[in-house]
Chains A and B, each alone.
Chain A
Amino acid sequence: MRLWWLRLRVMTVKELLQLSRDPVLLIILVWFFTADIYIAGSGISMDLRHATLAVLDRDQSEASRELIQRFRPPYFRLQGQLDSGRQGIQRLDQGESMLVLEIPPHFERDLEAGESVAVQLQVDTTNTVLGTLASSYAAQIVGRYGADRARDQLGITDAQLAAMPRIEDRHRVWYNPNQTDPWFMSISELMTVITMLSLMLPAAAAVREKERDTIEQLAVSPLTPFQILFPKVIAMTLAILAGTAVALFLILFPIFHVPVKGSLPLFFAVTALYVLAVSGLGLFIATISRNLGQVSMLVIVILMPMLLLSGAWTPPEAMPALLRQLMVISPLYWFIELGYGILLKGAGLDVLWDSVLGLSLLGGLIFGFGIARFRGQFSAG
Chain B
Amino acid sequence: MRLARIRAVAYKEWREILRDRLFFTMAFGVPLLIMLVLGYGLSLDVENIPFAVVDQDRSPLSRDYIHRFSDSRYFDFLGYVERESDLDPLLADSRIRLGLVIPPRFEEQLRGDRPVAVQALIDGMFPFRAQTTKGYLAAINAELNQELLMDWLARTRGLTPERARERVEPVRLEQRYLYNQALKSDWSMASGLIMLVLMVSPPFLTALGVVREKESGSIYNIYASTLSRGEFILGKLLPYVGVSCFNILVMWGVATQLFGAPFKGDLPFFFFASLVYVICTAGIGLLVSILVSTQVAAVLLTMVITFVPAMLYSGLLVPVESMSADAQLQAWLFPPRYYLEITWGSFLKGLGWRDLWPPVAVLGGYAALLWGVGFLSFHKRPKR
Contacts and interface: CB of A to CB of B under 8 A. Distances in A.
B80 to A, nearest CB: 19
A305 B196 CA distance: 13
Interface string B326-345: 11101000000000010011
A47 interface: yes
B72 interface: no
Nearest to B157: A154
Interface in A291-336: 291-301, 304-305, 308-309, 311, 313-315, 317-320, 323
A50 B301 contact: no
A43 B329 CA distance: 10
Contacts of A117: 170-172
Interface string A83-125: 0000000001111001000000000000100111111111111
Contacts of B148: 164-167
A314 B44 contact: yes
Nearest to A23: B297
Contact of B132 (A120, A133, A309, A351): A133
Contacts of B110: 165, 167
A168 B130 contact: no
Contacts, number: 404
Nearest to A110: B170
B47 A347 contact: no
Nearest to A135: B175
Interface stretch (A6-14, A136-144, A222-230): A136-144
Given A25-B300, A122-B176, A125-B177, A164 B152 contact: yes
Contact of A24 (B168, B297, B330): B297
Contacts of A3: none
A293 B183 CA distance: 39
Interface string A264-299: 000000000000000000000000111111111111
Nearest to B136: A136
B249 interface: no
A98 B126 contact: no
Contacts of A190: none
B326 A43 contact: yes
A246 interface: no
A292 B324 contact: no
Given A44-B318, A143-B142, A176-B124, A126 B311 contact: no
Interface string A44-65: 1111111110000000000000
A317 B138 contact: no
B271 interface: no
A31 interface: yes
6 contacts: A114-B167, A118-B171, A125-B177, A126-B344, A138-B175, A308-B37
Interface of B: 20, 22-23, 26-27, 29-30, 33-34, 37-38, 40-50, 65, 76, 89, 91-94, 97, 109-132, 134-135, 137-139, 141-142, 144-145, 148-149, 151-153, 157, 166-181, 183-185, 187-188, 200, 204, 208, 212, 215-216, 291-297, 299-301, 303-304, 308, 311-313, 315, 317-319, 321-328, 330, 341, 344-345, 348-349, 351, 355
